[in-house]
A and B are shown apart, each in its own frame.
Chain A
Amino acid sequence: MMSETKGIMRISWGPQHPMSGQFRFILETDGENVYEIIPDFGFTHRGIEKILEYRTFVQGIVPFERLAMVDAANVGLAYVRAIEDAANIEVPKRAQYIRTILCEISRINSHLYAIGLAAEAAGGYPAIFLWTTADRELFLDLAEMLTGARWSYSFFIPGGVRADIPEGFKEKALKVLSYFEKRLIAYRDSWLENEIWLTRSKGIGKLSTEDAIKLGAAGPSLRGSGVELDMRKEDKYEAYGEIDFRMAVQKEGDCQARFMVRFLEMIESTRIIKQALENMPPGPFKKPVPPKLPKGEGFARVETARGEMDVHVILDGSDKPYRVKVCAPSFRNLYVISKLPKLTKILVADVPVVVWSFDPWYLDADR
């Protein structure tokens, strides 16, 4: 435990900084010791919740995905599912499987990005960031083949998905996955078991199980602290109820554990995509939905790559939502980061590693 004394120097980490992203942390330091991390929100506030009130349900999907572009499918799914919940729309089986596949592609994209950023955060120029970027290309290609877009898919609509699985998708996906499994081993050997990376991440930024629950950590940060909570298992939404996969949980609660959770989740994602491709049921891929939806209230929670994203929608009978409220995982994780110096010893050099081990996406925190 750190003593209660405040630091003597304030350092601004961001918003114009090589590693901070579009965000600012104010660090209260004394020499190398960090006594307080104060997140400074609002650099990327766009008022997306308000924007959604002026867009029809289908139009709203596009700005909603801007909450976390790197994980567009999972985030978009949260909004679409909330609308479906409000209007009691059943989704065809085939659409659920296609959604699952795209969600897992999106999750792999996001986790690869996170692991690459960890490499950037821990050292000068390890090649890992560019390796993960190169491997993400394959999954972006897959997503492009499926949806026509590489980043912002806007592929899920209330009542199903926009298009069916194209011809040759299954073969290409299996090829990419078998290559990716080899690459995962390369990442483990060259990065996650790298000696110096382990000295930088093992035991750093430790978050105990109780603290993780008390402070409301989300996603891999929560599971890295040994809490078994995954919305895919909890709610069994889309096809996740019918697919066999393990929940990635690590006990240690340090930076390395959080990245191991992401690493294991990528392995599980490849398994999920394979199973979904195998068990793909025939049938329609969408159901017509009227532009105006009846009055109602809907709620959905989806396990995005950064954790549980909750969306609450109120419909007033028009073709636009009356109000949308989002509870974003990054916001919750940023709160955990701000409390972390009270729980464990953090040095200035640990700050990038610790922050990126929570993998915050500032855009969904600021909204």
Chain B
Amino acid sequence: MAELPIPIPLPLPDWIIEFIALNWETLLKIAIIPGLAFILLFELIAVWFERKFLADAMLRIGPLYCGRVAGWLQLIADALKLTIKEVFAPKGAHKLLFYAVPIVAPTIPALAVVLIPFGPDWILFRASGAGLLLFFALTSLIPVTTILAGWGSNNKYTIIGALRSAYLYIAAEMPLFIAAAGVVILAGTFDLVKIVELQSKMWFAIPQFIGFIVFFIAMLGASERVPFDIPVAEQELVLGWRTEYTGIAFGLLMTIEYACLLAWSLLFITLYLGGYQGPPILGPGTASGIFWMLVKLGIVVAVAIFLRVVFPRYRIDQALRLGWRYLIPLALLNIFLTLAMKPYLLAMLQ
């Protein structure tokens, strides 16, 4: 007797159904903020600001002609230029990996942005039980892509750059995770919205001061910013793990640095600087939430860019020593202090 075909029901999770049933609000979130337009605009403005700021510190003028006003179109011109250049893989490169990485890698930090609340209800995907965990799970994939890019390029500079990237990322991510654990202990939840709501009276930067400092330094390491731009050390490794890329593939890889900075800065704001909390300037609700997120983001990114003017680069062993010998013990100390003083700290927050 032939077996009867059993109809398999598709028990899709609620969030996918909700996701598929697009309403205008979801569409707005995906397209504008915190979605596509926001991420691209952030990269545009951050690069423009960085160029102008660095130029000012270096007694130069910076981009000037494209777009009439302070060269704001320069990055778009550069991107256009990159699109019309040839993309080719070097001899002996692993073609699949070589071409896959520039496509896959920039989506990872962009995906992490999805988890960040921009208002009490303005969050693209609220993983209520595990927002923070999911964020770390996603960002842990970044060094995998850099290693694949470095190895797939079949070049000595890229191999060294990729290995440095992996070392640095591990040394930076451990303190990030441990510092964030202090916040989780204090808030009692992984849900980023709840963490923000707990900060309505006082930002976690104060009760979690050690974690705040550790997180900021480690964040610079995780997004490969100066003084931790060791994997792309131009002076010895040409361009580190992205040496062999040309054309728009190179352009896409360049966006990773800023996308990472964006993702980590947003998490930093969410965990320590009160997230979307702030005086309701644009009325109660989402609008002022987004406004405060953008203001705080601007300040954090400006500080990160300022450091680029001031500091040279650490050597990889010095950065690892900083990570393992200072940041991780400090982050652990932060956890112990949080555990010991939790009732007092919670009373402080009320």
Interface of chain A residues 89 through 144 with chain B (CB within 8 A): 119-127, 129-131, 134
Stretch with Cβ within 8 A of A (4 or more), from B17-25, B73-81, B142-150, B234-242: B234-242
What are the residues of chain B within 8 A of A332 when measuring CB–CB? none
A50 to chain B, nearest CB (A): 35
Contact indicator A123/B60 (Cβ below 8 Å): no
Contact indicator B156/A194 (Cβ below 8 Å): no
Across the interface, name the chain B residue whose C-beta is closest to A356. B235
Interface of chain A residues 1 through 50 with chain B (CB within 8 A): 9-11, 13, 17-19, 31-32
Picked from B160, B309, B317, the residue with its CB within 8 Å of the CB of A127 is B309
Contact indicator A196/B311 (Cβ below 8 Å): yes
Query: If A11-B156, A348-B160 touch, does A32 touch B317 (CB 8 Å cutoff)?
Result: yes
Contact indicator B236/A126 (Cβ below 8 Å): no
Q: Can you list, as one digit per residue, whether each of B278-318 has a CB less than 8 Å from chain A (1) or not (0)?
A: 00000000000000000000000000000011111111111
Contact indicator A196/B235 (Cβ below 8 Å): no
Query: If A131-B59, A349-B230 touch, does A200 touch B156 (CB 8 Å cutoff)?
Result: no
Contact indicator B318/A199 (Cβ below 8 Å): yes
What are the residues of chain A within 8 A of B316 when measuring CB–CB? 32, 347, 349
A7 to chain B, nearest CB (A): 11
A200 vs B226: C-alpha distance when bound (angstroms):
14
B157 at the binding interface (Cβ < 8 Å):
yes
Contact indicator A19/B236 (Cβ below 8 Å): yes
Interface of chain A residues 331 through 367 with chain B (CB within 8 A): 347-352
What are the residues of chain A within 8 A of B309 when measuring CB–CB? 125-127
Picked from A10, A17, A199, A352, the residue with its CB within 8 Å of the CB of B314 is A199
Interface of chain A residues 177 through 220 with chain B (CB within 8 A): 190, 194, 196-197, 199-200
Query: If A123-B226, A125-B308, A126-B310 touch, does A347 touch B235 (CB 8 Å cutoff)?
Result: no
A236 vs B206: C-alpha distance when bound (angstroms):
64
B227 at the binding interface (Cβ < 8 Å):
yes
Across the interface, name the chain A residue whose C-beta is closest to B314. A196
B205 at the binding interface (Cβ < 8 Å):
no
Contact indicator A131/B312 (Cβ below 8 Å): no
Contact indicator B315/A194 (Cβ below 8 Å): no
Across the interface, name the chain A residue whose C-beta is closest to B315. A349
Across the interface, name the chain B residue whose C-beta is closest to A32. B316
Query: If A130-B59, A349-B233 touch, does A123 touch B160 (CB 8 Å cutoff)?
Result: no
Contact indicator A125/B54 (Cβ below 8 Å): yes
A149 to chain B, nearest CB (A): 24
- Interface size on A, as a range, is 20 to 34
Contact indicator A196/B238 (Cβ below 8 Å): no
A10 vs B58: C-alpha distance when bound (angstroms):
35
Query: If A125-B309, A130-B58 touch, does A350 touch B235 (CB 8 Å cutoff)?
Result: no
Determine which residue in B57, B235, B238, B309 has the highest number of CB atoms from chain A within 10 A of its CB, and name it.
B235
A351 vs B234: C-alpha distance when bound (angstroms):
12
What are the residues of chain B within 8 A of A31 when measuring CB–CB? 160, 163
A350 vs B315: C-alpha distance when bound (angstroms):
8
What are the residues of chain A within 8 A of B160 when measuring CB–CB? 11, 31-32, 348
What are the residues of chain B within 8 A of A130 when measuring CB–CB? 58-60
A344 vs B60: C-alpha distance when bound (angstroms):
39
A215 to chain B, nearest CB (A): 24
B304 to chain A, nearest CB (A): 13
Query: If A32-B160, A32-B317 touch, does A131 touch B58 (CB 8 Å cutoff)?
Result: yes
Picked from B57, B156, B235, B312, the residue with its CB within 8 Å of the CB of A9 is B156
B173 at the binding interface (Cβ < 8 Å):
no
A117 to chain B, nearest CB (A): 10
A17 vs B59: C-alpha distance when bound (angstroms):
25
Contact indicator B59/A123 (Cβ below 8 Å): no
Contact indicator B315/A347 (Cβ below 8 Å): yes
Contact indicator B226/A124 (Cβ below 8 Å): yes
B191 at the binding interface (Cβ < 8 Å):
no
A337 to chain B, nearest CB (A): 15
Contact indicator A19/B234 (Cβ below 8 Å): yes
Across the interface, name the chain A residue whose C-beta is closest to B159. A9
Contact indicator B312/A123 (Cβ below 8 Å): yes
Contact indicator A17/B238 (Cβ below 8 Å): yes
A349 vs B57: C-alpha distance when bound (angstroms):
25
A237 vs B235: C-alpha distance when bound (angstroms):
39
Picked from B234, B312, B314, B317, the residue with its CB within 8 Å of the CB of A119 is B312
A6 to chain B, nearest CB (A): 16
A121 vs B235: C-alpha distance when bound (angstroms):
6
What are the residues of chain A within 8 A of B314 when measuring CB–CB? 196, 199-200
What are the residues of chain B within 8 A of A9 when measuring CB–CB? 156
What are the residues of chain B within 8 A of A350 when measuring CB–CB? 315
What are the residues of chain B within 8 A of A121 when measuring CB–CB? 235
B43 at the binding interface (Cβ < 8 Å):
no
What are the residues of chain B within 8 A of A19 when measuring CB–CB? 234-236
A127 vs B311: C-alpha distance when bound (angstroms):
9
Across the interface, name the chain B residue whose C-beta is closest to A204. B315
Across the interface, name the chain A residue whose C-beta is closest to B234. A18
A348 vs B230: C-alpha distance when bound (angstroms):
11
B229 at the binding interface (Cβ < 8 Å):
yes
Across the interface, name the chain B residue whose C-beta is closest to A348. B236
A9 vs B83: C-alpha distance when bound (angstroms):
34
Contact indicator A200/B312 (Cβ below 8 Å): yes
Across the interface, name the chain A residue whose C-beta is closest to B239. A18
Contact indicator A349/B227 (Cβ below 8 Å): no
User: When A and B form their complex, which 4 residue pairs have the shortest distance between CB atoms, in order from nearest?
Assistant: A123-B312, A130-B58, A122-B312, A19-B235
- A residues contacting B by CB (< 8 A) are 9-11, 13, 17-19, 31-32, 119-127, 129-131, 134, 190, 194, 196-197, 199-200, 347-352
Q: What are 7 sample pairs from A and B whose C-beta atoms fall under 8 A apart?
A: A9-B156, A18-B238, A19-B234, A31-B163, A120-B235, A123-B226, A125-B58
Known: A131-B58, A349-B313. 16 other contacts (CB 8 A): A10-B156, A11-B156, A18-B234, A18-B235, A19-B235, A32-B160, A123-B227, A123-B312, A124-B229, A124-B308, A127-B59, A127-B309, A200-B318, A347-B316, A348-B160, A349-B315
